[in-house]
């Protein structure tokens, strides 16, 4: 299942001393035990004047529907805010509504993609799922948000990168999908992180150099020694906490983690392609979605990726895309080649 908090992190919290974080430990255990079922265009008109001409431009609008699960483990819950509706005063409802809108705007303005399915399908979300539920996930048809336990996790709707990451799984599925295990699963997680980071940067108007490249900043309470769930700029440094342990993500193939847990390390080894994307974005400069993001998006939606793609296969595909889009001898193609070499996926130190 596609969830923002990795199972190994929840397992670590579930094994923590109960007397220190009683609510968080209980919440982590309950979150791990709770199964998640998987269930696989409006527009607005802008008028402007250009000389003597009246210019009419149509842009798609999202179709957001936010429901309240009211602490139950049943979906979707009660519909509480629909597209165009006024803020409700419920922070989780309104943050989810805004985060879904930010993701829709990013996909359209960066890639001219109308929603997750590229056809303007509804953006559904449910908030207040379960009691102290320590996760947020994409179930194949909607975003689902827990409220966190209040001791370790403070809630998930406040992070645009979390919202866009999970919606990114919907984009990946509609583009053809990547098997959710091993290297293809880590690519699935990494591409979702790319969408999450770029959506947040787009919303804030940040360049690649200005951005934090953090995924999930703000979802930890002050009790945690850490800044986020993951760092695309420096995998393995997002947190180092006596309860949660140390961020296990590698940034290079020499440190690739072989594990049967976490669907073969999908949340762990995603640090390697994450770092590759970050290197491309920094090398090209400017807004990361304009060139680096375009290369990754065109590769994802090209129809040529195998669902079981390895890191090396995806790297080759992005290099081909950069060559087609910008020229084989272009700055863009060179940046992509150098980045994959830099993380050990291609070149003499390749280990795919």
Residue spans of the domains in the chain: they are: 2-342
Distance CA(79)–CA(59), nearest Å, equals: 26
CA pair distance 228, 220, nearest whole angstrom:
7
Instruction: Please report how many Cα atoms fall inside a 13 Å half-sphere around the Cα of residue 251, on the Cβ side.
Output: 16
Q: Give residue 6's pLDDT.
A: 84
> Residue 4 has which token pair?
């923002």
Q: What is the pTM of this model?
A: 0.87
pLDDT tens digits for range 69-88: 999 999 999 999 999 999 99
What percent of the chain is predicted at pLDDT more than 90?
A: 81
- Architecture of the domain defined by 2-342: Orthogonal Bundle (1.10)
Residue 267 designated active-site: yes
The DSSP line for 25-91 is HHHHHHHHHS--------EEEEEEEETTEEEEEEEE---EEEEE-TT-S-SS-EEEEETTPPP-S-H
Catalytic: which of 128, 252, 267, 278?
267
Helix residue spans in 139-225 (DSSP H): 160-174, 182-204
Q: Tell me which of 95, 151, 166, 332 is the catalytic residue.
A: 166
Question: Which tens digit of pLDDT belongs to each residue from 152-182?
Answer: 999 999 999 999 999 999 999 999 999 999 9
């Amino acid at each position: 299942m596609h969830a923002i908090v990795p199972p190994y992190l929840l397992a670590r919290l579930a094994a923590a001393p109960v007397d220190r974080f009683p609510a968080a430990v209980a919440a982590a255990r309950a979150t791990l035990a709770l199964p998640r079922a998987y269930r696989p265009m409006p527009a607005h008109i802008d008028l402007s004047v250009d000389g003597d001409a009246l210019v009419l431009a149509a842009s798609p609008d999202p179709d957001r529907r936010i429901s309240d699960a009211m602490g139950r483990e049943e979906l979707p819950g009660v519909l509480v805010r629909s597209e165009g509706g006024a803020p409700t005063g419920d922070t989780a409802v309104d943050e989810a509504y805004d985060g879904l809108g930010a993701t829709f705007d990013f996909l359209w303005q960066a890639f001219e993609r109308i929603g997750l399915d590229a056809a303007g399908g509804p953006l559904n979300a449910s908030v207040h799922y379960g009691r102290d539920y320590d996760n947020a996930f994409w179930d194949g048809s909607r975003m689902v948000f827990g409220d966190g336990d209040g001791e370790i996790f403070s809630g998930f709707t406040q992070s645009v990168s979390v919202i866009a990451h999970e919606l990114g799984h919907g984009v990946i599925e509609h583009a053809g999908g990547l098997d959710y295990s091993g290297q293809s699963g880590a690519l699935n997680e990494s591409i979702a992180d790319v969408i999450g980071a770029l959506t947040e940067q787009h919303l804030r108007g940040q360049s690649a150099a200005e951005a934090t490249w953090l995924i999930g900043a703000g979802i930890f309470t002050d009790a945690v020694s850490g800044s986020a769930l993951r760092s695309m700029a420096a995998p393995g440094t997002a947190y180092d906490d006596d309860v949660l342990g140390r961020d296990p993500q590698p940034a290079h193939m020499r440190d690739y983690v072989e594990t049967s847990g976490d669907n073969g390390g999908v949340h762990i080894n995603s640090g390697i392609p994450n770092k590759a994307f970050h290197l491309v974005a920094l090398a090209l400069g400017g807004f990361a979605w304009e060139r680096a993001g375009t290369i990754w998006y065109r590769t994802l939606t090209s129809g040529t990726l195998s669902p079981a793609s390895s890191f090396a296969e995806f790297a080759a595909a992005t290099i081909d895309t950069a060559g087609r889009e910008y020229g084989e001898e272009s700055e863009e193609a060179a940046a992509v080649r150098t980045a994959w070499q830099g993380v050990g996926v291609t070149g003499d130190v390749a280990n795919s």
